[in-house]
Amino acid sequence: MQTRKALVLFSGGQDSSTCIHWALKEFAAVEAVFFHYEQRNRVEYDSVKYVTEKENIKLHELHVSAFKEIGGTAMIDDITIETGKNDLPNTFVPGRNIVFLTLAASLAYKRGIKDIIIGVNDADYSGYPDCRIDFISSMQDSLSKGLDYDLNICAPLQSMSKAEIWALSDRLGVMNEIIKHSHTCYIGDHSTLHPWGYGCGECPACILRKKGFENFLLLDE
């Protein structure tokens, strides 16, 4: 019988929402952590609150203001989304997952939790370097050594395409929940409902989500 508890990094997006429902099936108990880093769109937090309250999941909220002070990313500042250094979009927040995983590990240590769940994957958002498996592995190794605590950082979506992530939510029986109560759009449009969810339909995150949904539908044909 499963007795382990998991801590899920929960942003309110499609991937982390899928992860939290996956964790509810796989672990005896689940907690979530949301990071307030002065991101542009409050709707992400609203999605997190909805799911955690509905599923009776303990939610930890941590505040990280330094990224706003550093500035220069479209996830925080009201600037046009465009390609920046190293062919990465300026929605990339340098060091974000390093900081988030470090704080999540500290929280897990205090809570007696060994398993940390993060919704990164290799196809995620133009190949962000902090979404790759080698990064996740190195963070697990460093944090376990630095805390002298046997942590397991699990990325259940790591090798999945967006279509396969949609398929997982379907198998979990939460696809409709993901469509209506997760938020991915960089612009923050949560008024226009498409078959694949809310969003502007034009930003890179919406395009990736939409294309993944359309490819998922093809899997069933």
pLDDT of res. 168: 97
Cα dist from 128 to 35, 134, 183, whole Å: 19, 12, 19
pLDDT in tens, 185-212: 888 888 899 999 999 999 888 999 999 9
**Tokens 């997952």 correspond to what residue?**
97
The residues pairing with 116 across neighbouring beta strands, listed in sequence order, are 7, 153
**Domains of the chain, first to last:** 5-184 (3.40.50.620)
Q: Whole-angstrom Cα distance, residue 166 to residue 52?
A: 20
Report whether 35 contacts 76 (CB < 8 A). no
Comparing 96 with 169, the larger pLDDT belongs to: 169
Least-confidence region, from 7-21, 71-85, 91-105, 180-194: 71-85
pLDDT category at 45 given cuts 50, 70, 90 is very high
| Helical spans, DSSP H, in the chain | 14-26, 43-54, 66-70, 96-111, 133-147, 162-171, 175-181, 204-219
Nearest-5° Cα angle at 132, 129 to 135? 85
pLDDT category at 1 given cuts 50, 70, 90 is very low
Whole-model pTM: value is 0.91
Q: Is 211 helix (H, G, I), strand (E, B) or coil?
A: helix
> In terms of Cα–Cα distance, which of 36, 51, 13, 21 is closest to 184?
13
pLDDT of res. 7: 98
